Amino acid sequence: MIFIPIILAALYMGWSMGANDAANCIGADIGSGMMPLKVGIAITCVFCFLGAVFLGGNVIKTIGTGVVDINCLPLNERNLLALTSLFSAAVWGTIATYKKFPVSTSHSIVGAVAGGGLVLGTSLHLEKIIQIFICWILTPIGSCVFTVLFYYICRSFFRIPVIRRHHRAIMYVLIYITSAYLAFSWGANDVANATGILIGIQKVSSQQAAVIGALAIGIGVITWGYRVIETVGFKITHITPLMTIAIEIATALNVHLYTRFGIPVSTSHAIVGAVWGAGLVQGIKTVNLKLGRDIVVTWAVTPFISGIITYITLGILLTLTKGG
């Protein structure tokens, strides 16, 4: 009977991810004025689904079995860990989306699973967790550096006489292509946050998990994704079309590299780091430093809040089930 609540929690987590992370794929496009919101949402849904199905298996396995030693737990405890960690991460994602803050669903689910592991007394895979943590720090830095690099490459490209004559048309094409690539990379890395734990408890196959997560993410993008799009697209810094191309190439490439190694990283970290890079190109005064500070603080507390929520809810459920 607990399988149905677990699937519902996974769908809720996927919806929460789609609502918060849609901005990662199309926030810069919308902010630059080069793409209508509805078109951006459609591109995000389609290519996120493709990324999840064709490349999502690598990170799904890491979330499912790489954070805690879940296979050594009794079946009931495994199921409760899956249920509470998914619910806790999704709740925090919903709160952050309501406040219009781009947070990391990767941080949320890793923190939630680790918090549940502490309650159950199972061993944490500290080496893998430390590796993930280091990559979390490197992600926004890498995107920032990549954006500056790709901005100057793109600027030189558009100064070529032949390209300059068809400047606007080529700009549109590149923005749509880079947006699709970014959505693909996001789906490949982040679908694990919604359904990776289902692999750990051996409820579904990797392919089934990818499809379930991708569908839920798409619904989240469509229904509530516009909230954080406003923050990423308009409030951090002014974004030009040329910067949008550099931002999306940098972010997509950054996330894609980590996905190949099965490391769950934050697309939110990557895109915000990239937008900061674009701001640095224009001058530090153009960057909303107060908002940047608030976003970084939210990033820092995310795994701890998700872990605490899981710790409390799992503890309560264990007490109730043992009492019953």
Comparing 197 with 8, which gets the higher pLDDT? 8
SS3 68: strand
Kindly report which listed range (5-14, 84-93, 134-143, 269-278) carries the lowest average pLDDT score. Answer: 269-278
Residue with tokens 């692999």: 199
Return the higher-pLDDT residue of 267 and 313: 313
Maximum mean pLDDT: which of 167-176, 224-233, 234-243: 167-176
**Band of residue 259 on the pLDDT scale cut at 50, 70, 90:** very high
Question: How crowded is residue 82: how many other Cβ atoms within 10 Å of its Cβ?
Answer: 28
Model confidence band, residue 324 (pLDDT cutoffs 50, 70, 90) = low
Q: What DSSP letter does each residue of 197-213 carry, written as one string?
A: HHHHTTSS-HHHHHHHH
DSSP class per residue in 99-166: TT----HHHHHHHHHHHHHHHHTPPB-HHHHHHHHHHHHHHHHHHHHHHHHHHHHHHHHTTSHHHHHT
Residue pair 268/107 in contact by the 8 Å Cβ criterion = no
* Separation of alpha carbons 118 and 126, rounded Å: 12
Whether 63 shows a pLDDT value over 90: the answer reads no
22-31, 132-141, 184-193: which range is least confident on average? 22-31
Residues 151, 223: Cα–Cα separation, whole Å: 32
- On whether the CB atoms of residues 245 and 284 are closer than 8 A, the answer is no
First to last CA, the chain: 16
Cβ pair 35, 176 in contact under 8 A: yes
Comparing 310 with 1, which gets the higher pLDDT? 310
Tokens of 264: 């769950």
Residue 286 has a pLDDT of 64
Higher pLDDT, 67 or 117: 117
Residues 158-197 pLDDT 10s = 999 999 999 889 999 999 999 999 999 999 998 888 888 8
Residue among 187, 63, 68 at smallest CA distance from 122: 68
DSSP assignment letter at 235: I
142 beta partners = none
Give the pLDDT band (50/70/90) at residue 150.
very high
Number of residues that make up the chain: 324
280-291 pLDDT, tens digit per residue, is 887 776 677 777
| 241 within 8 A of 83, measured Cβ to Cβ | no
Which positions ≥6 away from 214 have C-beta within 8 Å?
14, 48, 49, 52, 53, 56, 187, 191
d(CA 54, CA 260): 12
SS3 assignment, position 33? coil
Mean predicted confidence (pLDDT) in 84-91: 95
Distance between CA atoms of residues 200 and 74, nearest Å: 12
- DSSP classification of residue 72: G
Structure confidence at residue 233 (pLDDT): 64
Is the pLDDT at 203 greater than 80, yes or no?
A: no
The CA distance from 239 to 174, in Å, is 15
Average pLDDT estimate for 136-155: 94
Please give the model's pTM, rounded to 2 decimal places: 0.88
